[in-house]
Amino acid sequence: MEQVTAIIPNWNRAGLLARALDSLKRQTAPCARVLVVDNGSTDSSCAVAAAAGADILRLPSNLGFAAAVNRGVEAVSTPWVWIVNNDVELHPGCLEKLLEAARASNASFAAPRVRQLANPSRIDASYDLLARSGCAWRAGNGCPDGPLFAEPRPIRFAPMTAALVRRSVFTKSGPLDEFFGSYLEDIEFFLRASLEGFSGVYAPSAIAYHHGSATLGAWSAPMVELLARNQVLLAARHFPAAWWWRVLAGQLLWGALAARRGRLAAWLRGKWRGLRDAPRVRRSCSRAPRAVIEPLLISCEQEILRLQQSTRPEPYWRFYFAVAR
């Protein structure tokens, strides 16, 4: 079995980190190495990691999730890296099932079925899907677990909640974009990987459990601001100009959702920052031809529509498809 290094980006969540490390110890397919990349924590995180026998890469300050992953990947040499959030607890067979699924489908990355830790009957994450609005959906998030999410399938985007990735994907596609920091940085990474020809697999027999939003908090102002900014940056970097109306419509709809949560000001700050920073990211790489990227995202939208029709439709996607179609 090929060797795997588990990389855990961490910042000031010692209690959660201890549980994640304990679940890594119990894997039926043990990791060759466990590396905690600590973003300048001021709590006992490093002591917890050392007590668990993990290697520690200490960063001088909180450089963000993307930077922590990149530094971790640079520091290891195993063929596979397993990016594990510090608020994840892994079923003992998780890594074994991910490797089996990746080998069987010749995939370059694999995503487990992630259940909500507080309510394991519901899905936290399966695989990600990206629309031509620049907004993404973590397929099944909040939906009851069941047959809809129990079948393996090829995927283009793997949530970096507990994603297993060949290190060669980082070599060829490039690292996570540290300018994104957190939120959509994994979507942007796997979009580049998909455009390079890499593909992945969703492995529902691999199970993990996720606390969710443990660092910034669900629908916190910092989360909304970062996500609103990065939606603009993602579209500016990769989308053809002809999609402007889809991007505008989709992101205004997402703004309405933020406003309902009392986060309109954070959304406006994020959009302003995104528009300010868009020229910088636009210059950083060339866009893929529309004929290449459009079929990929149309297939994502078709999958979003299929899943939404099979579950309780979310208002955002109901309105988006009413406008976009």
Q: List, as one string, the DSSP characters of 24-79.
A: HHT-SS--SEEEEEE-S-SSSHHHHHHHTT-EEEE-SS---HHHHHHHHHHT--SS
Distance between CA atoms of 209 and 124, rounded to whole angstroms?
Answer: 8
Output the CA–CA distances (angstroms, integers) from residue 208 to 88, 114, 122, in the order listed. 7, 5, 12
Distance between CA atoms of 179 and 280, rounded to whole angstroms?
Answer: 10
- The residues of the chain that CATH labels 3.90.550.60 are 4-210
Tokens 């195993």 -> residue: 78
Determine the pLDDT at residue 215: 53
Residue 287 — pLDDT band, cuts 50, 70, 90? confident
Determine the pLDDT at residue 26: 97
236: burial class by Cβ within 10 Å (0-12, 13-18, 19+)? Answer: buried
Determine the pLDDT at residue 212: 75
pLDDT, one tens digit per residue, over 95-139 is: 999 999 999 999 999 999 999 999 999 999 999 999 999 999 999
Domain covering 4-210: architecture: Alpha-Beta Complex (3.90)
Q: Which of 116, 119, 202 is nearest to 159 (CA)?
A: 202
Cα 127–chain centre separation: 9
Q: Taking the model in full, what pTM does it have?
A: 0.94
pLDDT, one tens digit per residue, over 41-82 is: 999 999 999 999 999 999 999 998 999 999 999 999 999 999
